[in-house]
């Protein structure tokens, strides 16, 4: 990682304040980096670090540990096919229902925007609502699949399909249905859609502290390729 301060236009507009990000190759460089952010009047800075930072404050900023991120990857075979699941179907509606929003919010319950005590749950829900709306709008470059139980949608996976990579953007199964194989079937269906598009690499991210999700992805054949620690620096 290189030490630099990057301005984030979308985040700044969403949070209505100046937001930036810093990638630290050296943890000791955080003082200089956040002093620069302070001089440029950044109210919030996402700090990505290859090392754990054991500090609660740096200069004018409160530093919140928001768990870090782990990147996973799986290469799938063009000849191998995942078992078809009749209860996993494409989301065909042109609008996002309240039921789907609840699943989307559930997918982000461990996200940094929800676990940061200095951020509001309203912002987290609005952010994830915009995320699913973007996936809906960008079809067919994206896909939304749902797990059905009767007439109810009890699980969801959101995908971005590139030229040679399928990114899992969102994944959730309602709490009472977890542990019954719906998450595995949603991932299998995502892999099958990738094959039909000629895409043989699936990538996804989860929180460093979300041990149940990490164990689940490992069980499904996903390999950890990188991880980093992540902090939100809030100006006092």
Q: Are 195 and 176 in contact (CB under 8 A)?
A: no
- State the Cα–Cα distance between residues 65 and 20, nearest whole angstrom: 16
Question: Which CATH superfamily includes the segment(s) 72-226?
Answer: Gcn5-related N-acetyltransferase (GNAT) (3.40.630.30)
Q: Structural domain boundaries of the chain?
A: 5-65, 72-226
Name which of 43-57, 76-90, 183-197, 214-228 the model is least confident about.
76-90
Of the pLDDT bands very low, low, confident and very high (cuts 50, 70, 90), residue 82 is low
Give residue-wise pLDDT tens across range 9-36: 999 999 999 999 999 988 889 999 999 9
Helices and strands, number each (H, E), in the chain: 7, 12
Residues 182-220 have pLDDT tens digits of: 999 999 999 999 999 999 999 999 999 999 999 999 999
For 102-126, the pLDDT digits (tens) are 999 999 999 999 999 999 989 999 9
User: Cβ distance 136 to 96 under 8 Å?
Assistant: yes
For residues 18 and 12, is the Cβ–Cβ distance under 8 A? yes
Question: Is the pLDDT reported for residue 155 higher than 60?
Answer: yes
For residue 1, is pLDDT > 70? no
Residue 67, pLDDT above cutoff 60:
yes
**So what's the pLDDT on residue 4?**
79
Dihedral of CA atoms 173, 174, 177, 179 in degrees, nearest 10, equals: 50
């Amino acid at each position: 990682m290189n030490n630099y301060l990057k301005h984030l236009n979308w985040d700044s507009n969403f949070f209505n304040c100046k937001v930036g990000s810093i990638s630290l190759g050296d943890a000791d460089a955080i003082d200089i980096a956040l002093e620069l952010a302070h001089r440029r009047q950044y109210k919030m800075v996402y700090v990505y670090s290859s090392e754990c930072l054991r500090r609660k404050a740096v200069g004018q900023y409160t530093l919140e540990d928001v768990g870090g991120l782990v990147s996973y990857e799986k290469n799938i075979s063009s000849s191998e096919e995942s078992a078809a699941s009749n209860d996993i179907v494409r989301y065909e509606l042109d609008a996002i229902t309240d039921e789907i929003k609840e699943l989307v919010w559930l997918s982000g319950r461990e996200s940094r925007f929800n676990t940061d005590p200095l951020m509001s749950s309203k912002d987290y829900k609005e952010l994830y609502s915009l995320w699913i709306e973007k996936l809906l709008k960008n079809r067919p470059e994206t896909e939304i699949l749902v797990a059905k139980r009767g007439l109810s949608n009890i699980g969801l996976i959101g995908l971005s399909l590139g030229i040679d990579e399928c990114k899992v953007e969102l994944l959730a199964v309602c709490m009472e249905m977890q542990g019954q194989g719906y998450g595995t079937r949603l991932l299998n269906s995502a892999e099958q859609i990738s094959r039909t598009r000629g895409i043989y690499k699936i990538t996804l991210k989860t929180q460093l502290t979300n041990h149940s999700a990490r164990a689940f992805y490992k069980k499904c054949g996903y390999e950890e390729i990188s991880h980093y620690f992540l902090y939100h620096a809030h100006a006092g």
